[in-house]
Amino acid sequence: MELFRKQGYEDTTVAEIAERAGLTERTFFRYFADKPEVLFASSESLRDLLVGAVAAAPRSAAPLAAVTEGLMAAGAVFNEERRAYSRQRQAVINANDELRERELIKLAGLASAIAEALRRRGVRDPAAGLVAEAGMGVFRVAFERWVDRKEVRDWPTLVRESVSQLQKLLSV
């Protein structure tokens, strides 16, 4: 992240990243498929966390409540210790079209995984897909707010607030 911040993402090479990490380029590629994956390597663990929490929600939970359980579980990742790093990471992503595209693909994958978890809970389509996409909308809004430099509230507060706003909008 320091290299990206100092030199810019485009001007930072895999060789420089590997050297900073004390690795060879060859070893770098054992861990990461490509340079962008350095910024997205934790996507699978986030997906597993979200899907696991959706699956573990009480059977009586409505679909949006189950998805909210997943979003709240992400607070284990989006905690105060990671906020500064997440702000830097998001700034790098926002400054690069290729990375913004990769992020959208990863978010679409999260939505698909959540929809599948809802289907396993007995939620039928199109409801499963619709609720999963709504949940990802909440995720994006809460995340954008959480990484904002002026924001001090924690992840769970921002998720609850965003879900509440969505529910109010849907009841109008």
pLDDT tens digits along 84-115? 999 999 999 999 999 999 999 999 999 999 99
pLDDT tens digits along 122-146? 999 999 999 999 999 999 999 999 9
Q: What percent of the chain has pLDDT over 70?
A: 100
**Mean predicted lDDT score pLDDT of the chain:** 95
Does the domain at 39-170 match CATH 3.40.190.10? Answer given as no
Cis peptide bond prior to 126, omega within 30° of 0: yes
Please report the pLDDT score of residue 5 as a whole number.
Answer: 86
Residues across the chain = 172
- Please tell me the class of the 1-35 domain: mainly alpha
Token digits of residue 104: 């959208």
Domain boundaries defined on the chain: 1-35, 39-170
pTM, two decimal places: 0.91
